[in-house]
Chain A
Amino acid sequence: MIFIEKKIFLFLLIFFLLFLPPLGQSLGMYYTLHISALIGIYLLLILGLNLILGFVGLLDLGFIAFYACGAYLSALLSIRGWNFCLVLPATIILTVLLRLLLGLPALRLRGDYLAIVTLGFGEIMRLVLNNWDGLTNGPKGLPRVGEAISSPKFFFLTFQSDLSFYYLILFFVILGIIVSRRLDNSRIGRAWIAIREDELAAETCGINVDKVKLFAFCFSAIYAATAGVLYTHWIKFISPESFTFWESVLLVSMVVLGGMGSIPGVILATILVIGVPEFLRGLLGTQLVNYRMLFFGLGLVLMVIFRPQGIVPSKRRELELHPSNE
């Protein structure tokens, strides 16, 4: 019964996701598609951060650095004429390698120290992007005058309009959700959550905690890199100011707000925090929207006091309890 209801719900949801934004657009709400696509990019970031922060419990304050890495690498490759189908995997691989280089030393540190190191790494990344003129064109961003980032092409399909980009991003978001969910309910996901709950007990349960942590840390970078690649190819312009420490903090807050480790929770939080103010911009005028961070901050404080487990607290899957059901 519940199973069927779930199917119907999912069907309706996908129906809305496919048709509502274009409908809004055609009804004269001009930013609907743009905002929906932007939410999609943030969803990828949040799903990735949720793996490492929500599941494994590692406070990563520099996640945005890997989003930046994905964005810049893909811009550099795309400018050199690489096809999107090559740019995406190449960028993911290089970003994950960078993540590995950070993770190897940093994951030896516990709790607050890890937070500080990742924070520092995020700042280093921003400074490098800002100052390595020869490669990144500094604060002026990429591409330079006379260069261009090409639109993604898959054989005969070209992604150019906001609409086609919305669908491309939606595809990756749905893929990201499926991956997160499948990991959650598997031996690997259980090991991640066990580490979050009690590292020592996890180790004595036979889990190679260091290795599993490093893997999760690297795996989450796939999400960040993908988000970066999509952002670059969609907006076709990037500069260091999109990748500030503040963005990392925003991401962490959204995971906390949604509910650590809760996939529906973090999705809802992203839509609330990124989407709602943008949609209300037209209604309320720019003035009020400028106060959104104030509301966000207030909301966060209230949440942590009154509902620390988040909007949609993560719920563990229930199983049939008949002994031996082979």
Chain B
Amino acid sequence: MFLQVKNLTKHFGGLLALDNLNLTVSQGEIVGLIGPNGAGKTTFFNLLSGVYQPDEGEIIFLHQRIDRILAHRITALGVSRTFQNIRLFAQMTALENVMVGQHCRTRAEVKEALLRTSGFQKEENEIQGKAKELLDFVGLLSKGNELARNLPYGDQRRLEIARALATEPKLLLLDEPTAGMNPVEAKELMSLIKKIREQGVTVLLIEHQMEVVMNISERIIVLNYGEKIAEGKPEEIQQNSLVIDAYLGTE
């Protein structure tokens, strides 16, 4: 199994943010994760990426427990993410942001940097070349030398995706990537996500725009108050009465 989550539970003080979550993801899928605000979606990503440790349960990624491992080790194992509230390196250029993303796939240490060995130059060229490729892939190459903080919102979201891809993930976690985008940008992003999957990356996607998530997900998982209340194909989820209640009902 590619990704397996067993009995995952997370409290914040008295609040049960994630309640005994079980799910699996197969390689090459695009899985949508939806649910009302505060349902625990971002918390789930934080546990997957090692930002928080779970109170109970297991996360098994490629036959390995990753729920007690530090975040940078998880990245090295092939899980990468973006953030709901964009977290770029604001004072670095777009290109440098993507170059930083390659940190765990490259090796030059201080000695090589100071002596400017031929190995260092070669690796540095490779890092730059790959960063440009990735910027091109998300459509930002011409803005490579701009500081991340000067980019418009939609560009920042795509830059964050490029940076995440630079870590060479097997599993990519996208937390509301279309938030703040207009419908045209959102549509472009959908085709971008499809292209990412075509390159063999499995995608887990938190998304608020129903049109987007129904369109590109093969499978959808619905959370409400930290619990999984439904799971299935987009058509099934649209018919599911529990889901309709969660979105329209009680609130």
Chain A residues with a Cβ under 8 A of chain B: 179, 182-183, 186-191, 193-194, 196-198, 200-209, 215, 219, 314, 316-319, 321-326
Contact = CB atoms under 8 A, between A and B. Distances in A.
A255 to B, nearest CB: 15
7 contacts: A183-B114, A187-B124, A197-B91, A204-B51, A205-B100, A206-B76, A321-B142
Question: Which 10 A-B pairs give the minimum distances between C-beta atoms?
Answer: A206-B104, A186-B113, A197-B89, A206-B75, A201-B87, A318-B145, A203-B71, A194-B100, A187-B108, A321-B144
A208 B72 contact: yes
B95 A194 contact: no
A321 B136 CA distance: 10
A209 B120 CA distance: 22
Given A201-B83, A204-B75, A325-B132, 16 more contacts: A182-B116, A183-B114, A186-B113, A191-B100, A193-B96, A196-B91, A198-B88, A201-B89, A205-B72, A206-B75, A206-B103, A316-B92, A316-B145, A319-B95, A323-B133, A326-B125
A208 B93 CA distance: 21
Contacts of A209: 72
A179 B115 CA distance: 9
A194 B108 CA distance: 16
A197 B149 CA distance: 11
A201 B88 contact: yes
Interface string B42-62: 000000011100000000000
Given A205-B163, A326-B129, A193 B91 contact: yes
B128 interface: yes
Q: Say whether chain A's binding surface is mostly helix, strand, loop, or mixed.
A: helix
Contacts of B127: 187
Contact of B100 (A182, A190, A314): A190
Contacts of A326: 125, 129
Contacts of A179: 114
B204 interface: no
B168 to A, nearest CB: 9
